[in-house]
Structure 1
Amino acid sequence: MSATRLLVLGVVRMYGRAHGYQVRRELLSWSADKWANVQPGSIYHALKKMTAEHLLEQVEVEPGDSGPDRVAYRLTADGDHEFRVLLARALADAPMSRPEMGAAVSLMPALSRKHALTLLRKRLVDFEAEAKQSRMLIDNGEDWGKAAHVSELFRLWSGIADTSHEWLIGLIARLEAGEYVMADDPGSSFGSPPETE
């Protein structure tokens, strides 16, 4: 899965229709160039590739101010489906250190509150299993023929898992308390897929 693919689909969906410059400007405002390495070239490449895959369609061409014309895109029904699948997969399964997880958190308001909570609770169960495994490796690593200093790697993994687990519990609590405007809330930017003409 590509964070760029998910982000571009999500921003086009959020706007209803958007051209590459709008997508780029929005993602820069999220600092996606830093945490997901989303560069202008990758945005335009994703737009063209997903248009060829029938996930996006061109809806209009705007004359450029002093450069090339701007092509506006919107999601097709297949594109909306792809967005929803990628978002759910990233929120429930992407490793915390991967940019896909950052993309999923950024686009999480496109889900209903109940769906987001279900996916995050699944992730919570996974974290608890990882934490248990890390503790077992720390306690038994030498018995399994691992060099003593390798236990520091297991401690690092355990620390990352513990911090991620704590953050996730907080996010779930905030969502349960009604924080953030989700897709099923009034005033949602992500409430429904764009209408097709």
Structure 2
Amino acid sequence: MARKELSAAALLLLGLLHEQPMHPYQVHQTLKQRGDDRLASITPGSVYHAMDRLAADGYVEVVGTDREGNRPQRTTYRLTDAGRDAFADRTALLLGHPRREHPCLPLALSQAHAIDRQSAVDALRARRAATADELASYTSRYDVVRHHGLPRRLLLDVEYDIHRIESELAWLDGLLADLDSGALDWDESVPQSFRDFAAARSQAAATDHVP
């Protein structure tokens, strides 16, 4: 029987259970502490829901329950062999096969031409400032944990984020410079030659689909 596709939250949960058995509250707190909530939507509810699904699929199993004082009863789970295999397969698949994602920035850029230049510039400058702050935060945290000996192989996702943010920041700087200098003309009209070209392509595409 084919394995069910693991969600991002489920993959993070299984990854933690490689370290030791945990109860859902401990899983949630550890993910938050490590900053892994940037990788997926992580809430107490989503963690408990994902753990229930993993247990139903046989990827984790209960090893015990406990209660401390007036706190609710906590159920501790451990990884099963099936869960270990499913985790390895899913991780390798995500590493090796690019998937089309839909981040918000490309969507906004595709529609930015329809708002006035100053609104676009103000928004881009705000994003540039927020992106610079994000880069500083990531770099600082990365340097701290590396200084204290955390192996690089445990930080590859952070390295990727740092390089991604650096690239976005450099592109934003270039775009804003072009807007400031006039190299990017916000009011440039679409030439008739392109309109003719687009119309011809549209007509050809329509003809190709005529039965």
TM-score of the pair, normalised by structure 1: 0.47
| Structure with bigger gyration radius | 2
TM-score of the pair, normalised by structure 2: 0.44
Q: Which one scores higher on RCO, CA 8 angstroms, separation ≥ 6?
A: 1
